[in-house]
Amino acid sequence: MNQPAIEHVVGESGRNYLSSLMNSSHSNTQPSAGTVPVSSVGAETILPSRAMELKSATGTYAMYLSFEERARLFAEIDYLLDPDAWVEEDAIPLSAPYVNFLKWLLEAKRLDWSSLGLDADGNLLCAYLGERGTVTAAFHAAPVVHWTSNVTTEDGVELSAGQSPLRAFVTTAAGLLEKV
């Protein structure tokens, strides 16, 4: 089976965080709990399990994150998956979008995110707020990112949205985040 050649994005340390998109130790297949309504399983059961799964994924990349950044990610996971604040209709977060976010985060070296969230399908959302605007990104199980940008310029508000392959989003995001 021939696989297309992929150019690799290499960080300053020489580490290629996105090289594992084709040969990842993290499977892009999702546990069935990602689409099972919480009401049929119980938030008290599935949410702590999924939080542990996301924290374990963070641990895979822990050596590339500072203690403060790991603690910040763990705190955000705990906040997002708090069983006491969970709405039964919400989708359980999927692991693969979170892993794709971590890979992008390390490659792009943009640890200054403002908030994380989840969409209706369990994909990870990330927001960057700046003095002049906002950039949001939705990370999916496939290595694809949907993004929006809202920037106030001297000529008015500049709105844009797009879809980028995960690897290309490293460059796309750099340009977008420079404006906010």
138 φ/ψ angles, rounded to the nearest 5 degrees? -110, 115
Taking only the tens place, the pLDDT of each residue in 40-60 is 567 778 999 999 999 999 999
How far apart CA 90 and CA 3 sit, in angstroms, is 37
What mean pLDDT is reported for the chain? 83
**What's the confidence (pLDDT) of residue 81?**
94
Mean pLDDT of all residues in 142-170: 97
Local structure of residue 122 (DSSP, 8 states):
S
Threshold 0.85, pTM exceeds: no
pLDDT at 12 over 90: no
Question: What interhelical angle do 95-108 and 166-179 show, nearest 10?
Answer: 60
**Residue appearing with tokens 């949907």:** 146
